Amino acid sequence: MDELDRNIIGLLGADARMSVATLARRLKVARSTIQARLERLETNGVIVGYTLKLGETAREGRLRTSVLLTIEPRAQGAILTRLKAIHEVERVFTTSGRFDFLLQIACPNTQVLDQVLDQIGAMTGVKSSESLIHLSTKIDRAV
């Protein structure tokens, strides 16, 4: 990836609906150059899809939580399978340090969050968990 590729990704990260013509105009390159770069970025798996990013208004009805899990050795596969079945679990990351997983969870209210946390805590292989409820977003640069 070069500077042009990073600029294309940056502009699309801010507005995934931006047209190829607008990208070309903003980056001062030919439309065909942008089209070829996009095709290459997609083929190489750098860009795997185009999406939208919800604003705070759309997220108001969702209680967002990060959950840090410590699991037993060799339990990762079984736990991941069970976590995939829980709709409220949006993302699961492996981590370094004293926790094995970082989960991002979104629930409509505290009652559902409590049920989800109980369900996760009861899984065979989960040794401990720590929950952090998100209060407000101060910086969000995620693409």
Domains of the chain plus CATH, in order, are: 3-43 (1.10.10.10), 56-133 (3.30.70.920)
Segment 28-55 shows an average pLDDT of 89
Pairwise CA distance, residues 47 & 13, whole Å:
10
- Binned at pLDDT 50, 70 and 90, residue 54 comes out as low
pLDDT at 56: 65
pTM: 0.67
**Confidence class for position 13, pLDDT limits 50, 70, 90:** confident
Alpha-carbon gap, residue 124 to 83, rounded angstroms:
12
Q: How far apart are CA 43 and CA 45, in angstroms?
A: 5
Q: Check: CB of residue 86 under 8 Å from CB of residue 119.
A: yes
Whether the pLDDT of residue 143 is over 60: the answer is: no
Predicted pLDDT at 3:
93
107 near 116, Cβ under 8 Å? yes
Predicted confidence band of residue 60 (pLDDT cuts 50, 70, 90): low
